[in-house]
A = this chain, B = another copy of it.
């Protein structure tokens, strides 16, 4: 197990009805709130009204940044910062999934930075502090509710990049599984694929002695696999929704990554980000398409043991079979599982052809200092091959 510094300060209020803490929690930090949300599904579900009523009854003033896109844009961030400065906002309250929360995080950091917030993403500037924020989660996927990172897209430059700083972690997040009852099947599936991908990114590392972390990763993977299908078939199954929701936070809050090394870099997320940057597809869908092909591409004599572990512990494949048979069966099972959730297997199915693959492969490598990922560093040719295999 490699050295690590563990700090997960976000408080979680988990469960049905936890919205009741909202007023008191906000008042610990401020009284002028910016709501950040997406295309308005929270108005249909009644969550918006619930929140607004709580704010009013607590004499908390609020402003709104609505219409945040699924791949949140830097333009929304700029707009949010403007409102915060003009109105003297002291607390940011995203309501939604990772998009709204990520957008809110960069607004919070950008508030204290004089230049353009895109500078954070292209590493021209460093985040130093951020306005406090708290999140109300309505979609289990990115885990942004319990970490300090954000991913923002710039459609002008076809870039989807990430930034993180401890000050950007939510002070608290409210996770009410009933808020995800209305999430459509396709988004539920993409969310589960996203969570599983976060777990894979930590699990497929070369740090052999982080046994505990690997078994915890398997615990979360089993949870996703068991409940993903149930949540799609029975959208109001609380047991399924609650297990998936908590898995989404634990998958990426640091628990699985601590002990795997500071410089450990993710693989498939980096490749997928170029897909979303160019085509604005759903992140979890892109991940589901790419992951089995990445697995097949990187599998080799040195790392086959890891795929054997995965196949035996997660998919119950007979450990007496030969290593490569287990590994390949495990990869097949992964694809079959994603398919069983109704997720596509190919880029064609989401309208992506050959036209930009080379450009995207080059961008993936450029955005990652020459090679992508730590498990098996990928060159330009590797990335291109994975894209080609995914067509």
- Using a CB–CB cutoff of 8 Å, the interface residues on chain A facing chain B are 1-9, 11-18, 177, 209, 211-212, 215-216, 218-220, 222-223, 226-227, 238-239, 242-243, 246-247, 250, 255, 258-259
Known: A215-B223, A223-B211. A246 touches B1 (CB 8 A): yes
B14 contacts A212, C-beta separation under 8 Å: no
State in angstroms the CA–CA spacing of A211 and B223 once bound together. 7
In the complex, the chain B residue whose C-beta lies closest to that of A177 is B1
A–B complex contacts, Cβ < 8 Å, 6 sampled = A2-B15, A3-B18, A4-B12, A6-B12, A7-B11, A211-B239
For A255, what are the chain B residues with a Cβ–Cβ distance below 8 Å?
Answer: 255
In the complex, the chain B residue whose C-beta lies closest to that of A247 is B212
Looking at the assembled complex, report how far the CB atom of A220 sits from the nearest CB atom of chain B, in whole angstroms: 7
Which residue of the partner chain, among B13, B14, B16, B209, contacts A242 with CB atoms under 8 Å? B209
Known: A1-B15, A8-B8; 9 extra A-B contacts, CB below 8 A, are A1-B242, A7-B11, A209-B243, A211-B239, A212-B250, A215-B220, A215-B222, A218-B219, A255-B255
Looking at the assembled complex, report how far the CB atom of A251 sits from the nearest CB atom of chain B, in whole angstroms: 10
Which residue of the partner chain, among B211, B220, B223, B239, contacts A243 with CB atoms under 8 Å? B211
Looking at the assembled complex, report how far the CB atom of A305 sits from the nearest CB atom of chain B, in whole angstroms: 16
Which residue of the partner chain, among B177, B215, B246, contacts A212 with CB atoms under 8 Å? B246
B243 contacts A212, C-beta separation under 8 Å: yes
In the complex, the chain B residue whose C-beta lies closest to that of A239 is B209
B243 contacts A227, C-beta separation under 8 Å: no
Which residue of the partner chain, among B1, B219, B243, contacts A1 with CB atoms under 8 Å? B243
Looking at the assembled complex, report how far the CB atom of A65 sits from the nearest CB atom of chain B, in whole angstroms: 28
Known: A6-B14, A14-B3, A15-B4. A226 touches B243 (CB 8 A): no
State in angstroms the CA–CA spacing of A85 and B226 once bound together. 55
Give 4 closest A-B pairs by Cβ, nearest first: A3-B15, A215-B219, A6-B12, A1-B242
For A250, what are the chain B residues with a Cβ–Cβ distance below 8 Å?
Answer: 212
For A6, what are the chain B residues with a Cβ–Cβ distance below 8 Å?
Answer: 11-14
Which residue of the partner chain, among B4, B11, B216, B222, contacts A5 with CB atoms under 8 Å? B11
State in angstroms the CA–CA spacing of A223 and B242 once bound together. 26
For A8, what are the chain B residues with a Cβ–Cβ distance below 8 Å?
Answer: 8
A12 contacts B18, C-beta separation under 8 Å: no
In the complex, the chain B residue whose C-beta lies closest to that of A5 is B13
State in angstroms the CA–CA spacing of A1 and B246 once bound together. 10
Which residue of the partner chain, among B3, B223, B247, contacts A17 with CB atoms under 8 Å? B3
State in angstroms the CA–CA spacing of A219 and B222 once bound together. 12
A246 contacts B219, C-beta separation under 8 Å: no
Q: Of A1, A13, A14, which is in contact with the most chain B CB atoms at under 10 Å from its CB?
A: A1
State in angstroms the CA–CA spacing of A17 and B6 once bound together. 15
Looking at the assembled complex, report how far the CB atom of A264 sits from the nearest CB atom of chain B, in whole angstroms: 15
B14 contacts A5, C-beta separation under 8 Å: yes
In the complex, the chain B residue whose C-beta lies closest to that of A11 is B7
Q: Of A11, A218, A219, A220, which is in contact with the most chain B CB atoms at under 10 Å from its CB?
A: A219
State in angstroms the CA–CA spacing of A247 and B15 once bound together. 26
State in angstroms the CA–CA spacing of A255 and B247 once bound together. 12
State in angstroms the CA–CA spacing of A188 and B17 once bound together. 44
For A227, what are the chain B residues with a Cβ–Cβ distance below 8 Å?
Answer: 211
